[in-house]
Amino acid sequence: MDRRVIRRIVLIAVLITLTLCIGTVGFRLVEGYTLFDAFYMTLITVTTVGYQEIRHLSYTGRIFNSFLILFGVTAMFFAVGIMTQTIIELQLEDRFGQRRKRRAIMQMADHYIVCGFGRVGRNAALELQRADLPFVVVDRSPQRVEAAASAGMLAMHADATRDDTLREAGIDRARGFIAALPTDAENLFVILSAKTLNPKLIVVTRASEEDAEEKLRRAGADTVFSPYSMAGQRLAQALIRPHVVQLLEFPGKAAGLAVTIEQLQIPPESKLVSRKIGDLAVSGAKVLVLAIKRADGRTIFNPSADLQIAPGDFLIVMGEEARRRDIESVLLGYATSGSSC
């Protein structure tokens, strides 16, 4: 809840409590009422119910009651005014907030859509956020949408399995799609819808059941992860070759380093085309080329320094995490500047 709303609620509660306490203590001291009668008399006075007095008030009691009426009624109207203002402001903020959200989504292109903000979807969204990539989260749970918004993410409260929801999320302009809904059936359904609306979309998902993996691929998923089988394999590998697992999970950190692995696509107009892998060593990019993914789908691991770079290649490089942004900028700068080696 908004802190401003909480502060107003606390203010109203303190104001009403203070008024009731003053009235109860006053009637108790001035008229000698019992504690309950004094509270009851205060309550019917400040709420202007109009019941008659419990018993006739003395002259001093009427003077006290007059001031209590002025103070209590003013406090009650003030509290009602604050509550009314807060409700109106929340409604207006929600309406304008939804409009701003729709405008922001309409302006997005080549973005990613994360369907489901559970454990899997939340971690996927956090990774996209760390990479500073544009994305939108879609979930039917208001609490999860609020949690995503609190984390600074653009989130929609909607049913991802509906085509109109996907269109609102900009499915036709999106680059990638993460299906992280609770069940395989829901993921299968949303992948079919997403691929129908945008056949060029890159889709990744997870499979809870092993027999669902092939079905999800047939539905259009480009990559399917099976968390349970992967976890089982990692558990066994952590016993057999623990240092390898640590290096794969946290690149370089297990060895006391801080590095990251990135991919860089070589466009046809790049000056790196026909250059050799060894030329990168003098380009100013302190990176290690781990592999090359050729345009025809072949992957070359640990490429030699004499291997030529072709258009459409993906360079899988490793470099310092602190310079993650520089890895791509240095290589792209070298690729387009025409610098000679």
Q: Is residue 340 over pLDDT 80? A: no
Tokens of 312: 């459409």
* Of 340, 328, 325, the residue nearest 131 (C-alpha): 325
Side chain identity, residue 226: S
- Out of 2-16, 176-190, 311-325, least confident range: 311-325
CA dist list (Å): 90 to 78, 157, 183:
18, 17, 34
Give the 3-state DSSP-derived string for 173-216, with helices as H, strands as E and coil as C: CCCEEEECCCCHHHHHHHHHHHHHHCCCCEEEEECCCCCHHHHH
- Helix extents (H) in the chain: 3-30, 35-46, 59-106, 119-130, 142-150, 163-168, 184-197, 212-219, 227-240, 242-249, 324-337
Cα gap 82→149, rounded to integer Å: 26
Q: Is residue 284 over pLDDT 70? A: no
Beta-bridge partner residues of 176: 112, 202
312: left (phi > 0), else alpha (psi -120 to 50), else beta?
Answer: left
Tokens of 149: 């918004």
Question: Is the pTM value of this prediction over 0.85?
Answer: no
Q: Is residue 255 over pLDDT 50? A: no
Cα gap 98→95, rounded to integer Å: 5
Q: Is residue 339 over pLDDT 60? A: no
Beta-strand relationship, 223-225 and 259-265? unpaired
CA dist list (Å): 292 to 169, 276, 300, 323:
33, 12, 5, 21
- 114-144 per-residue burial string, b: 16 or more CB within 10 A, e: under 16: bbbbeebbbebbeebeeeeebbbbbbbeeeb
pLDDT of residue 324: 53
- Reduced to 3 states (helix: H, G, I; strand: E, B; else coil), residue 99 is helix
Q: Is residue 323 over pLDDT 60? A: no
pLDDT tens digit sequence for 59-110: 898 899 899 988 888 888 888 888 888 777 776 666 666 677 788 888 899 9
Q: Is residue 320 over pLDDT 70? A: no
How many CB atoms are located within 10 Å of the residue 272 CB? Answer: 24
Cα gap 273→262, rounded to integer Å: 19
- 15-35 per-residue burial string, b: 16 or more CB within 10 A, e: under 16: bbeebbebbbebbbebbebee
Beta-bridge partner residues of 315: 264, 292
Work out the percent of the chain whose per-residue pLDDT is above 90: 31
Question: pLDDT: is 336 or 88 the higher one?
Answer: 88
pLDDT (average), residues 281-289: 62
* Tokens 């949408």, located at residue: 145
Q: Kindly give, in sequence order, each residue whose CB lies less than 8 Å from that of residue 169, ignoring residues fewer than 6 positions away.
A: 105, 113, 136, 138, 156, 158
Question: pLDDT: is 282 or 164 the higher one?
Answer: 164
Long-range contacts of 58-66 (CB under 8 A, 24+ apart): 58/30, 58/31, 60/30, 61/27, 61/30, 61/31, 64/26, 64/27, 64/30
Torsion angle, alpha carbons of 268, 270, 271, 275, to 10 = -60
pLDDT tens digit sequence for 213-243: 889 999 999 999 887 777 788 788 888 878 7
- Out of 101-105, 172-176, 246-250, 317-321, least confident range: 246-250
Phi, psi of 229 (to 5 degrees): -70, -40
Furthest C-alpha separation in the chain: 107
Domains annotated on the chain, with CATH: 3-103 (1.10.287.70), 108-230 (3.40.50.720), 252-337 (3.30.70.1450)
Q: What integer best gives the mean pLDDT of the chain?
A: 82
